[in-house]
Structure 1
Amino acid sequence: MPNNSVSIKEVLDSGKFTLYQIWICTLCFLLAFFDGFDLSLVGVALPDISEYLNSTSAALGVAMSAGNVGALIGAFILGMMADRFGRKNMLLVSAFTFGIFTLAIAFIQSVEQLIFLRFIAGLGLGGAVPNALAFGSEYAPSKKRATLATTMYAGVAIGATFAGLFASYFLPRFGWQSLFLAGGTVACLIGIIALISLPESLEFLVKRNTNIDKSRIRKIVSRIAPLYGTDNNIDFVSSEKRLAGVPFKHLFKDGRTANTILLWMAFILSYYLLWLILSWTPTLLKKSGASSQEFSLAFACVNMGAVFATVLIGILMDKFNPLKILKIGFFLAFISVFIFGYFASSSFIIVAVFSAIMGFFVIGSNSGLMGLAAISYPADIRGTGLGWATGVGRAGSLLAPVAGGLMLTGNWSVNYICTTNAILALVVILIIFIMQKVNSK
């Protein structure tokens, strides 16, 4: 009989970050990658889809929002289901759902079909990132959790960057359909790899604690900390107190109410600004005179800047006060969106540079919010916390495509659209300032 208890936190913090843990985080990164790739495909392809379907910007804005409605529902449902039925199962559901239905978009013949398929694909997209971040974070040493969470989230930005680069070559040669055929197929392949090689969350297995789970736990621990895994006298226990009842209610218990509400408010505004950029940057640049290859490359630059910011902000949040880092990030996001709007009709080189700067600060700061959510909740409710934060945040992403479409239909200038919406980054700073005051009490 085991006579010594060791927590999962002790196992993860006991030694080096192993190749096995790196592989797990890499798979989570790849799932986030194809989330970003598939999310960005519609934005990049939107001008060509508009011509193919002979549709207006306002109608396509509804189609974009339909995907975000699905993502909102998916984030809520799949996040909570992951806390009850396991992260791996819900990650696989997410991956195959957004892969299969993204593939199907290549065959649309109407805006209505695009709306339907974006909604279903959105269900998977909504569950992919919060579950991938929660899953990867639970295999990370505690001192590296924010860094690894934001690094995995960088997969979204890298995927979106790749979508822009991929589109710049394939869009003019093979048409917009080729983007969805490739994106959906490879996403399903990643899902198959995850099915075969991804373990279940250690914290989840420990808390479920069946006889089969005990064997699986020891096998996984042996690959992370062999000295613990091969000692049959050790009983592995959860790092955190088990929270009884429905996970959702614990988001508002033990002093978490104010932080949860404020975090949701910040996510809504941040997602709005993020999705305004992801949905309409190619169209805004086309309005300013860019060719399909130029706006695809500029869109890639938006996300390329975000890649570096996403990794950097996690490192800074682990070293310094996370809320102070986020305040600086969102202030620079405000400046960058304003400047992008001013220079949107300049030469391609200038547009590309300011696109990268805007992506660096806007998407990087949004990544910082993901990292903050990942470290704000205990393991029992981490999937629920991340799911609800991103799900509520999707309310902003619902509004952004429609709002952008209405602004373009109303013939707003690119400069005016960017200047007006950049102000929201300042409101996020105010929310973070209030969070700081709440936490200092």
Structure 2
Amino acid sequence: MSSSAAVEREPIIARASAAAEPDAGNYPPTIRAVLAFAFLLVAEFFYGWAWNTVDVLRPWLRDSLHLTLTQAGSGYSAQGAGALIGAIVMGQLADRFGRRNMLVVVMIGYGLSLIAGVAVQSYAHYLAQRFVLGLFMGGIFPIVVGIYTGLFRSNVGGRLASLINAVFSSSIVMLGLASGWLAGHDWQLLLWIGGVPPVLLSVIAWFAIPASSDGGGPTRSGTKLPILELFRPGLRKQTLLLAALTGLNFFSYQAYSGWLTTYLRDIRGLSAVTIGDLVAWQFAANIIGGFVWGWAGDRLGRRFNALGFLAAGLAIGVYLAVPSHPLWLGVIGAVYGFMLSASVIWGPWLTELYPSHLKSTAASIFNWGRIVSFFAPLITGALADRFGLGLSMGVSAVTFAIAGLIWLSLPETHPRPFLGRGRVKR
């Protein structure tokens, strides 16, 4: 990048170390990197399965524990609260003590915590189990992003993120289909299916992840807590806006997708098999969208994908208004799923906005938004009790639009973006 690049008043905010210097970094041999990334995809699949049981299995869990709509939704709030704390703690531990080590810890933790769900017998137990599960799952995103951005050059970061997104969405597709087949008989079997494999596979991380991408060590500023670097002068505003963006994303998703299976069963009157198919269609489109948005983020800039959030809000409004025909619901749901995956670029983007020694800590901002989102089920559940589930879900259309506008206001790290100049600094 030439010295004529635009100079920003706030250092590092405009820093795009990866996008501006795509050949920088000590990358492992290609075969080694591909094998390590393949292992990360396995960890991501079971993480996606575990995370989404709180939504996909909500109708059956609600029936088994005799919960109200608000109580059923608060399971996500407990899980989100745990993920917020887990992201902050696990991300920093990964940057200080090694990402491989912490990947093993969180895989064992979320596997055992998911299995513990079979022992839940009360509302209090449910909240506790989901909180502990969230603690471990909150660490997956910052750890995985911190590792794979150290395996390959950043000019393919969006496409790598799209593969991660595809595996995550595939896990939801499989969970949706499995819930249609098994939930009416023994939904707890789905907890065993998702929990046992990551525990058994976790030890492979020490052999699969190369040391060059592991991280670990003191922060460059000498601070004991890496997170403090994200709030130093020149970075504070950016960090807070990113947290607000991720918060609105999670709020919007939970306000709509979190209630989707409940809405389709209780309001639209559809069968479990049809509901499972609709969930599968939506996330199949999310997989396709992830590849498109990943490519777009690499070629057109990280802010370009904000357009997907604006379109997702529009799709939600249409979905809630169309007739209860599986074809209509499937098509509009697929459009929503496609647009939702615009955020696939966030992992690489977050690491590009901050110094490289803070990769996992910076990526943990993705989960900070849960401090906002874990109120979503409580708010939308209360609105649903008073005004109806459809109207409460419609709130997400507005919050997605607000999130899109915030995204467009944030720094760009691509040297030649489609939407405005790249705010790049050497």
Q: TM-score range by the shorter chain?
A: 0.7 to 0.9
Letter in structure 1 aligned against 2:358: I
Distance 1:203 1:293, change over 3 A: closer
CA displacement at 1:195 relative to structure 2: 4.3
| Deviation of 1:97 (Å) | 0.9
Larger mean Cα displacement after TM superposition, 429-438 or 112-121? 429-438
Match of 1:294 among 246, 257, 274: 274
Q: Which residue of structure 1 aligns with residue 388 of structure 2? A: 412
The alignment status of 1:360 with 2:338, answered yes or no, reads yes
What SS does the corresponding residue of 2:324 show, helix, strand or coil?
coil
Indicate the residue corresponding to 1:27 in structure 2: 39
Task: Give yes or no for the alignment of 1:178 onto 2:153.
Answer: no
Report the AA paired with residue 391 of structure 1.
N
Could you tell me how far 1:150 is from its partner in structure 2? Answer: 3.8
Matched with 1:377 is 354
Aligned identity (percent) is 24
Q: C-alpha deviations, 1:47-76, integer Å up to 9, x for none?
A: 111111111111112222111111111001
TM-score, normalised via structure 2 length: 0.85
Report matched runs for 1:1-80 at 5 Å. 9=24, 11-12=26-27, 18-80=30-92
8 Å Cα contact 1:150-1:371 kept in structure 2: no
What is the CA-CA distance between 1:381 and the residue it aligns to?
Answer: 0.6
Selected match of 1:317 from 297, 301, 306? 297
Q: Aligned in 2, Cα 1:332/1:108: closer, same or farther, shift over 3 Å? A: same
Question: Partners of 2:69 and 2:127 in 1: how far apart?
Answer: 14
- Decide which of 366, 386, 392 is 2:363's aligned counterpart: 386
Q: Which has the larger radius of gyration?
A: 1
Query: Is contact 1:31–1:129 with CA below 8 Å preserved after alignment?
Result: no
CA distance in 1, matches of 2:422, 2:279: 37
Q: CA deviation at 1:319?
A: 0.8
Name the structure with the higher helix share. 1
Contact 2:91 2:139 in 1 (8 A): yes
**C-alpha spacing 1:332/1:102, structure 2 compared with 1 (3 Å):** same
**Structure 1, unaligned runs of 5 or more:** 1-6, 209-240
Partner of residue 332, structure 1 = 311
Secondary structure at the aligned position of 1:410 is classed as helix
Q: Cα offset for 1:11? A: 4.1
Residue type at the aligned position of 1:285? L
SS at match of 1:138: coil
Distance 1:169 1:195, change over 3 A: farther
Does the 8 Å contact 2:315/2:335 carry over to 1?
yes
Q: Which residue of 2 is the match for residue 217 of structure 1? A: none
Q: Which residues of 2 match residues 28-427 of structure 1 at below 5 A?
A: 28-172=40-184, 174-202=185-213, 204=215, 242-245=220-223, 246-253=225-232, 255-286=234-265, 287-323=267-303, 325-343=304-322, 345-362=323-340, 364-387=341-364, 389-414=365-390, 416-427=391-402
* Inter-CA distance 398–40: structure 2 relative to 1 (3 Å threshold): same
RMSD across aligned C-alpha pairs, in angstroms? 2.5
Give a deviation string over 1:100-148, Cα, whole Å, max 9, x none.
0101112221121111111111111100122111111111123212321
Contact 1:340 1:418 in 2 (8 A): no
Residue 17 of structure 2 is matched in structure 1 by none
Number of residue pairs aligned between Structure 1 and Structure 2: 393
Distance 1:127 1:247 in 2: 15
For the residues of structure 2 that align with 1:57 and 1:200, how far apart are their CA atoms?
47
Q: Which amino acid aligns with 2:325?
A: S
**Structure 2 contact 104–205 (Cα < 8 Å) conserved:** yes
